[in-house]
Amino acid sequence: MQKDWWKTSVAYQIYIRSFYDSDGDGMGDLRGIIEKLGYLKTLGINAIWITPFYPSPLDDNGYDISDFMAVDPSLGTLDEAKELIEKAHSLGIKVLLDYVMNQTSDEHPWFIESKSSVDNPKRSYYLWAPGRVNPAGERVEPNNWGAFFGGPAWNYSPETDQYYMKIFSDKMPDINWDYEPLRKEMAQVARFWLDLGVDGFRMDAIAHLGRDLSFKNSKLAGPWELAYDWSKFSNRDVLYDYLHELHKDVFQHYNVLTIGEVGGGAKLPDALKYVNKERPAIDMVFNFDTVWCNGLENRTILKPEKIKVNVAELRKRLVYWLKGSIEAGIAFPMYWTNHDHPRALSQYGDINFHQVSGRLLAMVLLSLPGMIFIYNGEEIGMTNVDYQSLEDFKDASSRNFIRDHKHKYTSEQIMTHLRYAGRDNGHLPFQWSNTKYGGFSTSEPYLKMNDNYQWINAEDQMNDQQSIWSMYREMIQLRLESDYSSILTQGNFDVLDHQHPDVFVFVRRYENHEIITLANFRDHYVQYPIMSGKVLQSNYETYDHKGLQPYEGRLIWREYDEKNS
């Protein structure tokens, strides 16, 4: 297997608990993935990334792990994990797993030992500090740092009268990468799964392994106010030492692909530190910069409104990352959204133009450079939740948002916000058919389904040549198995129009050929001069050369020379 196999890969992310339930308990499982490998092969993907299936109390959807080297009994067995890897490989599908690096569950044996005594050998596996006394004489957290899920970045442990650091949930204590014995333990976790045959890792929350261990207050807020200052535990220089050590001790001994989740705080210079050929660490970085180009980013509370894609900002961010990565000679993963985000159709498409806007998203994504990742359900245009009760929202960050805002806003206001931005959107059970429970399970799913499974589902779309699913399949074939594959997998990338507020136009060039992608992100006709050439793909059966219909996309091939530039 070649190290650069990713260049001709289209990967598919599987959120295991919501993918397919094989045993009727209302939750997806490993056997469910095994049973749907044929579906994935038909779609055309050749790699899968599976979210955590390790033992977990499920405070945060399996990212709170109580045993890194086992399978949660509710999701299957270790033998089924091995079977999945083997059967995927037999179909030419590579397997990437989530390597959760920032935290464990508070029910992990390491933490149970660590909290038991300040002298316990595993005490330093986690980050501990004494509390402070505020001006009112109250015992409070060691500093003013805030957590990603809201509230302080510390939680009190009565066993030793100290606080442990947790930048996500109270039940997810952060591990201490500054402590060498802990790093050795985590290296062994990686070896365990690589020895079972996995082809790579998506490295969860990798940006947060380095901390400001002085634990000094952030200056972004007063000493007794919460400061949401991610710089205290994001993309700090020391983490590159940890990753280089991990590469040297583990990764360089395997043919493994490593992709780190670095979030929205990292920029290209940070990426070049992660992907450093002189001091190897990992192969690629996931960031969130292109996920929120629709006016909804960083709002305290969202109100009912029609989402409008900010084409200028999307174009700007794509140019920054894609051209910057290509010029630097580093790999880049390209995706619309994942399990932490709203659904792509709801972010960048339009439910009122469901089919054409979903097909447009397929055309744009699969004609961009990089290693392509499709999130499960994206290929059928699954949408954000239609929940009518706050009780339906189960995600830890959603529950924390409700807790922190219920005294300020009405239930309807909070629900509106979560329908737009909550992580439950990405966790919805897959809509396989229009039968009860959407064909996901024979019993009520662990998370409420959207009612629209009756008309948005895989079974119907696989039998419709004009469906979103069919467009994803056609575009994957065009990218991987056609005479144009070299252009789409190896070609350079340039934007042809840097100014247009509604239309995104870019070109991929390889040798003396080019493919131009035109994408109208508006719900109305937009006049735009269409260049000459062979139309390879369109999401409309009829089209003209004077403009683009609502959410129309078009791929045009032509020979390239200086006259066309």
Distance of alpha carbon 220 from alpha carbon 395, whole angstroms: 28
- CA separation, residue 429 to residues 15, 368, 401, 445 (Å): 9, 28, 22, 7
Q: Which residue has the tokens 């014995």?
A: 181
Helix axes 468-480, 354-365, angle to 10 degrees: 20
Residue type at 64 in one-letter notation:
D
User: Cβ distance 517 to 367 under 8 Å?
Assistant: yes
Sign of CA dihedral 261, 308, 382, 547: negative
Please state the φ and ψ torsions of residue 560, each to the nearest 5 degrees: -110, 130
Please state the φ and ψ torsions of residue 398, each to the nearest 5 degrees: -65, -45
514 carries an active-site annotation? no
Q: Which residue has the tokens 């793909």?
A: 537
Distance of alpha carbon 276 from alpha carbon 160, whole angstroms: 41
Residue type at 355 in one-letter notation:
Q
Distance of alpha carbon 203 from alpha carbon 459, whole angstroms: 33
- Cα 443 to its chain centre, rounded Å, is 28
The residue annotated as part of the active site, out of 21, 80, 229, 261, is: 261
Distance of alpha carbon 316 from alpha carbon 539, whole angstroms: 25
Residue type at 461 in one-letter notation:
Q
- Provide the token pair at 524: 């109305």
Distance of alpha carbon 415 from alpha carbon 421, whole angstroms: 10
Distance of alpha carbon 386 from alpha carbon 258, whole angstroms: 36
**The 10-14 sheet, strands edge to edge:** 284-286, 257-261, 200-204, 94-100, 47-50, 10-14, 371-375, 333-335
Distance of alpha carbon 8 from alpha carbon 135, whole angstroms: 60
Alpha-helical (H) ranges within 349-447 are 354-365, 396-405, 411-421, 424-427
Element (H, E) at 62: none
23 three-state secondary structure: coil
User: Cβ distance 260 to 285 under 8 Å?
Assistant: yes
DSSP state string for 199-268: -EEEEETGGGS---TT-PPPTTS-TTS-B--GGGSSS-THHHHHHHHHHHHTGGGS--EEEEE-TTT--H
Helix axes 238-249, 180-195, angle to 10 degrees: 40
204 carries an active-site annotation? yes
The residue annotated as part of the active site, out of 204, 340, 350, 552, is: 204
Q: Cite the active site residues.
A: 204, 261
